[in-house]
Amino acid sequence: MLLLSGKITLILQLHSGQKSVTLQEIGSYIIVPKGIWHTAKTTIKSKLLFITAGEGTLNKEESE
């Protein structure tokens, strides 16, 4: 995921526990390893470029 504008926090569910990564500089990016569940949170208008193979992608329902 490549940050094009704004600020975004990504929540990754790693085998060792949950980790948060904040992208706030235009051009900053993160590569999420295959099989790692993740979601994005933002409080301001932001744009991201997602590049994914797509095949085998799963969705997880969040409980609130």
Q: DSSP assignment of the chain, as one string?
A: -EEEES-EEEEEEETTEEEEEEE-STT-B--PPTT-EEEEE-SS--EEE-----TT----PPP-
Does this model's pTM top 0.85? My answer is no
pLDDT band with cut points at 50, 70 and 90 for residue 60 = low
Q: pLDDT at position 24, please?
A: 95
**pLDDT tens by residue, 30-58:** 998 888 899 999 999 999 998 887 666 66
Instruction: Give the mean pLDDT of the chain.
Output: 87
Q: pLDDT at position 41, please?
A: 93
